[in-house]
Amino acid sequence: MKRYVILISGRGSNMQALIEAQLPGQCVAVISNRPEAAGLAWAAGRGVPTRVVDHRQYPSREAFDAALAEEIERLGGELVLLAGFMRILTEGFVRRFSGRLINIHPSLLPAFPGLRTHEAALATGVRVHGCTVHFVTPALDCGPIIIQAAVPVLAADTSESLAARVLAQEHIIYPQAARAVLEGRCRLADGRVVWEGDATPAHLALRVPAQ
């Protein structure tokens, strides 16, 4: 059974979805860089160990990332799942966990990397928006894609209404992707996502929910 950790900075709704999915592995800890993160209490209330590595206690990004990596390895974490972890990780950290570090981003990458993705989608007038689960690489929001989910952009949408529909899909596809990696059906090799049998299952490549 593989051991995994989940990193959060706030309420961790994707963390909740991952834990409730009862993934085929052991969640050895939910770790936050903020001791006040609401998700820590939620996880602890369900018997999941929690840890805090407060970035404000370290003099540099490199020092914080080194401490975080040491804590993950001390716990025996084999897979690291970013779930609303609001830190840009250093290249050293990313390379240390290469192929074992996964993130979910609220856009159909490579469109709209970074923050405020829903506002950007509305401002540019795209008709389709969504979310992406990907392996993390040193380039921000540019890692190889595991699964995506698409939602239409409606005429009456606000950034809040669009975000809510995208978030609902995040809670579906992130556990799917994590399960596939934990079960060994999906991995990163030579900079690309490889599925068992070298074929991405059609139902996982892109989720388009019925409207």
β-strand pairing of 145-152 with 128-135: antiparallel
Q: Which of 55, 105, 129, 134 is catalytic?
A: 105
Q: Tally the C-alpha atoms within 13 A of residue 83's C-alpha that lie toward its C-beta.
A: 35
Is-contact 103 9, C-beta < 8 A?
no
Q: How far is CA 176 from CA 44, 73, 146, 189, 209, in A?
A: 23, 24, 10, 19, 15
User: Active-site residue 105, yes or no?
Assistant: yes
> CA triplet 191, 26, 31: central angle to 5 degrees?
75
Strand partners, 101: 80
Give bridge partners of residue 2 from the DSSP assignment: 25
- My answer on whether omega of the bond before 110 falls inside 30° of 0, hence cis, is yes
Strands 206-207 and 145-152: parallel
The two tokens of residue 27 are 């969640």
Q: Per DSSP, what are the bridge partners of residue 185?
A: none
Q: Which residues are catalytic?
A: 105
